[in-house]
Amino acid sequence: MSKPSETTLIFRHGANSAEIGKITLHGAYLLQSEKVQELFRIGIAGLRGGSFHSRLSFHRRKQNPENWTTQNRPWKALWTLEVVNGNAQSIQMVEHLLYSVFSRDHQFVDGSGFKASPDQAATFVNMLIAREDDIAKVVEIQLGQLVKVHRL
């Protein structure tokens, strides 16, 4: 029996948030609209095919003009998590955790978007940074193995 590939979690925030690997499949993110700064969006990549990088790029390109995400472009990444050698189940559990963090205090105006004061952006990032160990534990449980963690 071969040993499973080692899983690495790469947490980024601030200026490094969007510098994700171009081939990493699974990830999670918190975005803020640059057009309407009180709009934020959480999301994941790796369930619909394509890379994490292509999913974040999708939020910056024009697509469906009726789509909430499209209407509020461009978006900037405030916080990202790459799950290198992860799986869909692990990233879905991270998404559930992110929804539980933000839905306690904010009503969602779209399936994955919510409104808040633009001044709260740094607070949101700090909330996620404070939960990175919990997020790593969720991924470890879902994968059934320890993970390496990098914070950039």
Q: What is the pLDDT of residue 50?
A: 64
What pLDDT score does 1 carry?
44
pLDDT at res. 12? 92
Angle at 65 between CA 115 and CA 48, to 5 degrees: 80
User: What integer pLDDT is reported at residue 73 of this predicted model?
Assistant: 86
Model pLDDT, residue 70: 81
pLDDT at 2: 46
User: Pairing relation of β-strands 113-115 and 147-151?
Assistant: unpaired
Residues 21-55 have pLDDT tens digits of: 666 778 899 999 999 999 999 988 877 666 666 66
Which stretches of the chain drop beneath a pLDDT of 50? 1-3
Ordered strands of the 147-151 beta sheet: 113-115, 39-45, 26-33, 75-84, 7-13, 147-151
Which distant-in-sequence residues (6+ apart) come within 8 Å of 145 by Cβ?
4, 7
